[in-house]
């Protein structure tokens, strides 16, 4: 299957059908259910990018719109999460294509200052190839126990407005995505 056969669609969370909610939830359980990530409470996403081949969903990216802070100053963020591709469709470039579409959407439609994602260290090379940079700063977010962080995760940012990412503690001002 060629990358050009991938059809991408962006939908607001409240515009998803019950069937779309079900397969996204199934993917999240399949990919993240058996990891430490299952021990955290996560933010609801605002947007979903779903990639289909012949009408069948094969890849997915979530976007959360949020005003966070860096060093106490407000920053408009587009949070990327839920990046998944069905196992049989991996290594075809579908997630990269969906992430590039997410970056364009965040810049042009949402007008965020920065994209922000949190990933495992082994994923850094993929995101770097797509223009993301490591945010060399502590990152905190809300959980029922109060402010916390991911001990081993890497925060990465994507400049979306021509600004340089500020230095200082990154506070998501809510649940992680």
pLDDT tens column, 132-166: 999 989 999 999 999 999 888 999 999 999 899 99
> Confidence class of residue 32 from pLDDT cuts 50, 70 and 90?
low
Smallest CA-to-CA distance from 68 within 6, 152, 141, 150 is with 141
Residue 84 near residue 59, CB atoms below 8 Å: yes
Tally Cβ neighbours within 10 Å of residue 26.
11
72: pLDDT strictly greater than 80: yes
Class of domain 3-171 (CATH, top level): alpha beta
Amino acid 130: pLDDT: 96
- What gap in Å lies between CA 76 and CA 74, rounded to an integer? 7
Q: Which of 112, 119, 116, 118 is nearest to 161 (CA)?
A: 112
Question: Mean per-residue pLDDT for 62-77?
Answer: 97
Question: Which among 153, 131, 120 has a CA at the least distance from the CA of 31?
Answer: 120
Which residues, in sequence order, are CB contacts of 60 under 8 Å at separation 6+?
24, 27, 48, 49, 50, 51, 82, 83, 84, 85, 98
| pLDDT at res. 93 | 93
Residue 86: predicted pLDDT = 86
Q: Taking the chain, what is the end-to-end CA distance rounded to the nearest angstrom?
A: 31
Residue in the block written with tokens 């962006």: 10
């Amino acid at each position: 299957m060629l990358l050009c056969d991938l059809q991408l669609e962006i939908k607001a969370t409240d515009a998803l059908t019950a069937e779309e909610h079900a397969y996204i939830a199934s993917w999240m359980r399949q990919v993240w259910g058996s990891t430490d990530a299952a021990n955290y409470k996560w933010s609801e996403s605002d947007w979903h990018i779903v990639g289909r081949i012949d009408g069948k969903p094969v890849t997915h990216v979530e976007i959360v719109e949020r005003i966070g802070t860096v060093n106490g100053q407000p920053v408009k963020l587009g949070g990327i999460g839920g990046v998944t591709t069905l196992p049989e469709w991996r290594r075809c470039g579908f997630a990269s294509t969906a992430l590039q579409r997410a970056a364009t959407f965040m810049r042009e439609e949402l007008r965020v200052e920065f994209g922000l994602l949190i990933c495992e260290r082994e994923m850094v090379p993929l995101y770097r190839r797509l223009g993301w940079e490591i945010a060399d700063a502590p990152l905190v977010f809300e959980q029922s126990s109060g402010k916390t962080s991911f001990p081993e995760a890497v925060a990465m940012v994507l400049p979306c407005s021509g600004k340089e990412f500020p230095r200082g503690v990154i506070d998501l001002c809510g649940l992680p995505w």
